[in-house]
Structure 1
Amino acid sequence: MTPQVRFHYQQATAVRRTQVIPEQLPDWVPSACAVVAEHLRHHGIASAGYPFARCHPLPDGLVEVEAGFPVAAPIADNGLVEPSTLPAGPVLAVWHTDPDQKLAETYAIAEEWMETEGATPTGDSWEVYHDLPTCDRLGTRIEIVQPITFVNA
C-alpha cells in the first residue's frame, strides 16, 4: 500500500517494557500484549485501539521494547504494566499485509519514501497489530507508524 502522512495525537498507553535482542521480539511482544490485555480487563479498562510495540535501539545491540495497548487515560504503574505514551505530530504510516514479504522490506519502503519526499524520522517507530496477536504470532496486518518532520518545513 502507498505510505500515508497524517497527524497523530498524543496517546496514553498501558505497556510492558523490557530489553531484549531483536530475535526475541516475535516471542516477547505477543505475550506482553496478552499480559497487558488481561491487566486492563481485570481493572475494567477498555483499550482505545489495537495492540502495538515500539522499540528503542540501545548501543549494545539490545532494544528496549514496550508493548501494549492505547488507553483513554493514563494508568497507574503496578510494576508489571506501566503507563507510557505515543507521541503527537506528523507520522508516516505504511501497511505490511503480505505474509510472504519480510517486515524489513516494509520498513525499507518507509525509508525510501522519506528519502524521496525530504522527510526525516523524529523518534522511534512503532508497529500496530491489526490482527490481534496470539501467544505464538504477531499476525500479518501490521501498520508501521514513523514520526517524521519534513526537512524544508
Structure 2
Amino acid sequence: MQTYEIQVRNRNEQPTAVAEADLDVSEIAAWLERQYGAIAKVLAAQGSVPSGPPFARYHHREAEGRFHVEAGFPVTTVIEPADGVGPSTLPGGPVVETVHTGSYDTIEPAYGALACWVHEHDGELAGAAWEVYLTSPGARPDPGAWRTAIVQPYRIH
C-alpha cells in the first residue's frame, strides 16, 4: 500500500482552458484523451500554450457513477471560447496535495489520505479536488509508473 506525503499550500487562482461534459465513469478516459488534443489545438490557434500539465476536475453528480468533468490545461492568459473549449479557473486559497504513483483505478486512497488530513487538522473540504497528470500514458505505457498529483481545496473551521 502506498504512503501519501501531504503538502499544504496556498495557491493563487489559476486561469485554465477547458472542455466540460457530464460522463459515466466508463466514458471518462476516452473523453479525456480526445479533449487534451482538441484543447491544445484551440490554444495554438489563439497563440497560447499550456503553462503546466493537463488536469481534470471531477464534480460528483447525484446519479451513481456520473461526474461533471472539467478538463484542460493551466494557461497564462484567458482564452476566447472556441470549438467547445472555454476559459475557466482553478480556485485559489489553501489546498492539500499529494502524489499518487500507479494506475488511475488505484487512486482512491490518495483522496482518502487528503480528506483524513483535512479532518484531522480541524478543516473541511471546500469544493471538488482535481488531478494533475504528471506522466503521459502515451509516453510511459506502464500504469505502475504513472504519477498523478491530487489537489484538494479546504478551509479551517
TM over 0.5: yes
Identify the residue that residue 127 of structure 1 maps to in structure 2.
131
- The answer to whether residue 12 in structure 2 is matched with residue 9 in structure 1 is yes
**Structure 1 vs Structure 2: percent identity of aligned residues?**
33
Cα distance in 1 between the residues matched to 2:40 and 2:72: 7
Gaps (5+ residues) in structure 2? none
> 1:41-64 deviations in whole A, cap 9, x for unaligned?
233211111100011112223211
AA aligned opposite 2:42:
H
- The answer to whether residue 140 in structure 2 is matched with residue 140 in structure 1 is no
> 1:84-121 deviations in whole A, cap 9, x for unaligned?
11011000101101349811121111122222222211
1:1-153 residue pairs with structure 2 within 5 A? 1-61=4-64, 62-99=66-103, 102-132=106-136, 134=138, 140-151=146-157
After the TM superposition, which parts of structure 1 deviate over 4 Å for at least 4 consecutive aligned residues? Answer: none
Residue 80 of structure 1 and its aligned partner are, at CA, apart by 1.4
Question: When the two structures are superposed, what TM-score results if normalisation uses the length of structure 2?
Answer: 0.86
Cα distance in 1 between the residues matched to 2:95 and 2:147: 18
CA distance change for structure 1 residues 113 and 71 in 2, over 3 Å: closer, same or farther? same
Residues 30 and 133, structure 1, Cα contact 8 Å, conserved in 2: no
Residue 4 of structure 1 and its aligned partner are, at CA, apart by 0.6
AA aligned opposite 1:45:
S
CA distance change for structure 1 residues 27 and 101 in 2, over 3 Å: closer, same or farther? closer
Gaps (5+ residues) in structure 1? none
Cα distance in 2 between the residues matched to 1:99 and 1:68: 20
Residues 17 and 66, structure 1, Cα contact 8 Å, conserved in 2: yes
Paired residue secondary structure (1:114)? helix
Residues 42 and 82, structure 2, Cα contact 8 Å, conserved in 1: no
AA aligned opposite 1:150:
I
